[in-house]
Structures are given as C-alpha cells and as structure tokens.
Copies of this chain bind each other. A is one copy, B any other.
Amino acid sequence: MKKHIFNAGPSLLADEVYESAIKAIQDFDGSGISILSISHRTPAFDAVMNEADALFRELLQIPDNYKIFYIGGGASTFFYEVAANFLGTKAAYVNTGVWSKKAIKEAKRYGEVEVIASSEDKNFNYIPKFEAPKGVDYLHITSNNTIYGTEYHYDIDAEVPVIADMSSNILSRPIDVSKYAMIYGGAQKNLAPAGVSFAIIREDMLDKIVRDLPTMVSFKTHVDNNSMFNTPPVFPIYVLKESLKWLKSIGGVEEIYRRNVEKAELLYDEIDRNPLFKGTVEKDSRSLMNICFVMAEGYEELAPAFMEYTKEHGIVGIKGHRLVGGFRASCYNALKKESVEVLVKCMQDFAAKYAK
C-alpha cells in the first residue's frame, strides 16, 4: 500500500531527490566515487556548494550582501550560537512555543532577554501581535511552530536586526530576505535529510559579533571558510542542493507556495466543515506546514479509531504532539496533494459513519 508521510520532521523529499541521492551514492558526478566517500576539498564538491548557493539565492531572491553557510548539528546548536555571537546586552524574543522557549533559554546565558510577546496564554494557538522593539541587539522569532501549527504570514519590519528560526517553513513561501539580519534552521523539513543546518546572514552582522568565541561557534569562521573550516556534512548538503534544484524545476517558491496553499486549504476546509473535527489554531495564524486538529466536542472518544482508520489507508505520522494532542498533518513542500486528498477522504468517510 502506498504510504502518505505526514511526519513532522525529518520529512519527505521529492521523488527526484531520492533518485539523485541514490545515483550519487553509486557514482558521484561520473567520478567513479560515491558521494559518501568523496573529499570535500575537490572541485566537484566545490561545484555542489556553489550550485546550492546560486539556487538558494535565486529561489529566495537573496540580496548580494547576504552570505549562506551550513553547519553540522541542528537549530538547537544555533539557539546558543546566535546569542553567543550577537547578544551583548539585551535581545528581544517572541515566545510562540517550545522552540522559541528553547532559544530563549539558551540566550539567557549571554545577556538580558526580553520576551516582548507570547501566546502561552492560549497554549500557543496564535501568533501574537507586537511592536518591534528598539535598542536591543536583535529581535528573534520562530517563523513556523511545528508543534502548535502556527505561522507568521508576514515578514517583520524592525529597526533592529531580525533573526528568524525558519527550520520548518524555509522555502515554502515567498519571503523578503532583506527584512532579516539572519535566517537559520535545521534543513530536515523542506530541504534535506537530518544532519545539516543552514544560515543566511547579512554581511554587516559579521562585524557585530560581540565576543571572542571558539572557532566553530563564530559565524565568521563558517562564512570566511565557505562552510569548509572543517569537514562539512557532505551528503546532507548534496541532497539539499538536489532539493533546491527540484524546487526550481517545478517553478520555484511561487509555485510551491501555490501548492502549499492548495494543500492546506483542502485540509483546513475539511477540518472546518466536518462536524467530527476542529482546528486548534486561530485562523489567521494557521500554518501551511503543520496542520493541527482534534476531535470536536462529543467525538473525543473516536480519536483512536480515527487514527487506526487513517493507518489502514497508508497515512503515517499524524499523531499530534503530546502538548497539543489530537492530530498534526505536516504538509511540507514534498508532500503531494494526493496525500492530503487521501487524508480528507478518510475524514469524510469517517464522518459519514460516525456523525451524530
């Protein structure tokens, strides 16, 4: 039976990307060597890095005064590294859930952290409104919240540098990169297998590093060495490049955004229409990537049966995070509309059987 993978991450890649990954393991670029065994200090891998760079820039229209770099480790590594590099006196954070909280926790080691807005009062089911602060080293946001299913639908205007963790919605929608001083994230949702994280950083930020840091912690090291101060995660970066190539081939961010909206609308419409289910997130904060819903009042006891029913139809990974409960369908870039249709059909058939 065909599987429909709604995992929250690591997540699906496009079919073409799996194929490229396999070909490169068999023989990278006609070299007779596997991508798993090539030296990163070779023109062929330089070409991979350069192609990834060019594609990233083209797809997100990244201005020339930004640099892209990669690190091993994940966004959790960036949580403390961002503060280690840039938090001299005080930084502002918006608290939109678990990942924001982790970033805030790590930042507090390095200076004062002001939480300027939070949606904790309603179990993080909305993106709070806030005035961008002044006089802080930076403002930090989490652009999409995988656990709670909320997402910023706009870029942030601020005088201070805006730093965004975009782990879970990078390249899923158009953004105005020029409004951010730094965008970072783990790549294992929309771009790559687990094992590589990316950063897009405005060059002037490299002159604003506030303390002397271990070589691997300073962002300057990675920019100055084109992410090759030490051996980078070669294979995950190769797959990332292949994902970027795939994204360009289908029409870029504009097209994937159209598809993501289409998939999300399909599912949210069913959630809103179907008497057995209800969404957990305020409508204007709903994530295109992680769609959270629970059984409606009076139907709570049907949750395990619905889970079982979806499994029988090949659906994988829709159990909600324990902090929200219910269901979470993660609809990252590579998820096909067909998978959402199967889920919606399950919801409809289930309602036909059980609606009171």
Contact = CB atoms under 8 A, between A and B. Distances in A.
Contacts of A79: 214-216
Interface centre among A35, A76, A186 (most CB of B within 10 A): A76
Interface stretch (A37-45, A86-94, A248-256, A348-356): A37-45
A241 to B, nearest CB: 14
Interface in A1-27: 1-3, 5, 7-13, 18, 21-22, 25-26
A215 B105 contact: yes
A25 B19 CA distance: 9
Contact of A214 (B10, B106, B186): B106
A95 B72 CA distance: 26
A34 B37 CA distance: 21
User: Copy number of this protein in the oligomer?
Assistant: 2
Nearest to A9: B231
Given A109-B214, A188-B231, A18 B10 contact: no
A323 to B, nearest CB: 14
Interface in A215-243: 215-217, 229-236, 239
Nearest to A231: B194
Nearest to A197: B72
A193 B197 CA distance: 17
A23 to B, nearest CB: 10
B233 A194 contact: yes
A37 B77 contact: no
A27 to B, nearest CB: 10
Contacts of A293: none
Contacts of A234: 10, 193-195
A72 B233 contact: yes
Given A77-B72, A80-B215, A230-B75, A37 B13 contact: yes
Given A9-B39, A80-B217, 13 more contacts: A1-B32, A9-B231, A13-B36, A13-B37, A18-B36, A22-B25, A32-B316, A72-B73, A72-B196, A73-B77, A74-B230, A195-B196, A233-B233
